[in-house]
Amino acid sequence: MATTTTDQQQQPMQALNYTNAAILAPMVRIGTLPVRLMALEYGADLVYTPEVVDKGIVGCERVVNADNGTIDYLSKGVSIFRTHPSEKSRLVFQIGSANAELALQAALTVAQDVSTIDLNCGCPKRFSIHGGMGAALMEEPEKLCGILKNLVDNCGLPVTCKIRIFPDRERTLKLVKMIEATGIKALAVHCRYRDERPREPGHWDRFKEIVDAVSIPVIANGDIREYADMARIRELSGCAGVMIARGAEANVSIFRKEGRLPLMDIVRQYMRKCLETRNHHSNTKYCVMQMFIEDTKSPYYKPLCEAKSFRAVCKVFDMEGELDAWIKKQEEHGWPTDLDSAPRKAAESKEKKEKANANVNSNLGKRKQDDLKEEAIVPATSATTATTAQVEVKQQMEEGAPALKKHAGEDGASSQPTPADTPQPEVDTEVETAPVTSTTLA
């Protein structure tokens, strides 16, 4: 596990400059290393990692990859977080947490490779609010501020957080003042309520009151679709920086002052960046599909949906030659070519599912054996004569005896789960990158 040394912790914290900053927002699965590097190349001043849950990063092994200089934080061979030294001075690591000590452990794990720690207090999606994280923290301001205060006092890096707004203005202002008092260096604000989604217009009119209420830099987020939108929102609100999410998801060159590049140029440059950083094909495919989400009639979209390997994605864009050249170079140096290796998480989830099914079948078999034993104890007087116990059970069922009803659900069905009802572990096949073990492409 990578930790920050005492000397590193004693160095003065250098807060990032948020004045007129154009920032890549934290986006799960989108904001992986290739997109972050491209955003910086196209003009972004700062980039956020996707949210990483505290327990996921704590205890990871830090590995420097010889082939491209990237740094992996590995858990059981799976890359939880991949970065490159070239982004460190402008990289914000976002943590998902509902526990002050775990959040601190997570921050210390990656402290040597990032510049700022951010606590996610704004994402409303299930994977984020599960366990009280994300936007759920806004409902527990004391817990939220306790996590921030622990990070500020002990992680050795500048700390920020990202929230949404409440419909109640006073409640929002009270929260942001509490957050400021923890000592964080900046506050990012998404201009929607917890239950609002991107199809609903954001509340740009709410930014100014927050800017006026605190003395720390405020970063505005929500409905930034064009480069010119950044200037408009700064003028309207007085915010220090502007954070872009979906506009960058569709075309990361939105950060260019000169205007966005054609989509196909971006796609091919992105594919090359994925080769350079050895990005796993499932994440590569997902990110490219989001670039075409507004144009599903495109001749590229259907073949992309059907692509099941990095080579198949390359084939869609006539880039197999570049893939072959990259594989040859990697093999000549004995470097990994693991773009398609199956994520170990999926294998582990499958193993858990099979074990759960085996346990269910075992329990059913035991019940059947117990039933046979009970039948053997009761002497059968004839094939057509019921035992006294059987008659009593039949009478209770006909009369609706409470002793039997208490084992039934509201609809009268048995509350005992069948194998089909038994909860099964979810299979998570999306990881940021592939394991670093070498696997030659088929």
Q: How far is CA 192 from CA 27, 199, 207, 225, 277, in A?
A: 16, 11, 11, 16, 34
Percentage of residues in the chain having pLDDT higher than 90: 66
Active site residue 123: yes
Residue 88 pLDDT > 60? yes
Q: How far is CA 67 from CA 70, 182, 310, 426, 434, in A?
A: 8, 42, 19, 34, 14
Same structural domain, 179 and 296: no
And the tokens for 148? 């921030």
pLDDT-derived band at 311, boundaries 50, 70, 90: very high
Residue 50 pLDDT > 70? yes
The DSSP letter of residue 205 is G
The half-sphere exposure of 391 on its side-chain side, counting CA atoms within 13 A, is: 5
The mean per-residue pLDDT over the stretch 408-427 comes to 29
The mean per-residue pLDDT over the stretch 372-386 comes to 43
Of the residues 123, 239, 287, 314, which is catalytic?
Answer: 123
Same structural domain, 113 and 55: yes
The mean per-residue pLDDT over the stretch 187-200 comes to 87
Residue 364 pLDDT > 80? no
Residue 434 pLDDT > 90? no
pLDDT-derived band at 268, boundaries 50, 70, 90: very high
Residue 375 pLDDT > 60? no
Residue 291 pLDDT > 70? yes
Residue 159 pLDDT > 60? yes
Quote the pLDDT of residue 153. 97
Same structural domain, 225 and 152: yes
Integer Cα distance of 56 and 106 in angstroms:
8
The last residue of a domain, from among 261, 286, 310: 261
Quote the pLDDT of residue 161. 97
pLDDT digits (tens, 9 = 90+) for 130-139: 889 999 999 9
Quote the pLDDT of residue 14. 76
Quote the pLDDT of residue 385. 38
Quote the pLDDT of residue 338. 87
Amino acid identity of residue 257, one-letter, is: K
Same structural domain, 110 and 150: yes
Same structural domain, 121 and 237: yes
pLDDT-derived band at 177, boundaries 50, 70, 90: very high
Number of domains in the chain: 2
Average pLDDT, the chain: 81
Quote the pLDDT of residue 367. 59
Quote the pLDDT of residue 199. 79
Quote the pLDDT of residue 436. 35
Integer Cα distance of 132 and 303 in angstroms:
39
Quote the pLDDT of residue 4. 37
- The residue that leads in pLDDT, 196 or 410, is 196
Same structural domain, 114 and 26: yes
Integer Cα distance of 149 and 305 in angstroms:
45
CATH number of the domain that residue 121 is part of: 3.20.20.70
Same structural domain, 238 and 305: no
Amino acid identity of residue 45, one-letter, is: D
**241 within 8 A of 219, measured Cβ to Cβ:** yes
Amino acid identity of residue 335, one-letter, is: W
Residue 433 pLDDT > 70? no
The last residue of a domain, from among 202, 237, 261: 261
Answer yes or no: is 414 within a domain. Answer: no
Q: Helix, strand or coil for residue 91?
A: strand
Quote the pLDDT of residue 418. 27
- The residue that leads in pLDDT, 365 or 198, is 198
Amino acid identity of residue 263, one-letter, is: L
Quote the pLDDT of residue 361. 67
Q: 68-91: b or e for each residue (b if 16 or more CB lie within 10 Å)?
A: bebbbbbbeebbbbbbbeebeebb
Least-confidence region, from 106-110, 363-367, 395-399: 395-399
Domain around 248: 13-261
Give the phi and the psi of residue 370 in degrees, each rounded to 5.
Answer: -60, -40
The rounded Cα 423 to chain-centroid distance in angstroms is 22
Quote the pLDDT of residue 401. 39
Quote the pLDDT of residue 15. 80
And the tokens for 126? 């299930």
Integer Cα distance of 220 and 206 in angstroms:
10
Residue 271 pLDDT > 80? yes
Crossing angle of helices 320-333 and 263-277, in 10° steps, is 20
Residue 435 pLDDT > 50? no
Integer Cα distance of 72 and 64 in angstroms:
6
Residue 182 pLDDT > 80? yes
Same structural domain, 291 and 350: yes
Same structural domain, 279 and 249: no
